[in-house]
Amino acid sequence: MTNWSLMNHRLQGITLKVFKRICRSHDIVIGDGDLKIILRIIKNNPYPVLNDEYTPILLFEISKETNEKTCHDFKPIIEQKYLIHEIE
């Protein structure tokens, strides 16, 4: 059984360095500026990362603050649950 509180706590504690490593380990290369924005969005509202139903909202927010290409490049991290698997 997944402990959502613990997962949220771990998401809140991710540093840019760790976030960058997670992305690169899955062949997703995004500039530091955009990664900072994405990490801020995730930390401000981690629920969409944990709940598939809200993934489109998260991706919309990312595309709004970065651009469509960055959002498209980042999409597998969420859809394939790479970020969740890394923090479990």
Domain ranges of the chain: 4-87
Contacts of 7 (CB under 8 A, 6+ apart): 46, 50, 84, 87, 88
pLDDT-derived band of residue 19, with 50, 70 and 90 as boundaries? very high
Q: Give residues with Cβ within 8 angstroms of 32, minimum separation 6.
A: 16, 20
| Dist. CA 8–CA 25, nearest whole Å | 22
Q: What is the pLDDT of residue 46?
A: 83
Residue 50 has a pLDDT of 81
- Tell me, what's the pLDDT at 2? 62
Q: Is the pLDDT higher at 2 or at 27?
A: 27
pLDDT band per the 50, 70, 90 thresholds, residue 69? very high
pTM higher than 0.85 = yes
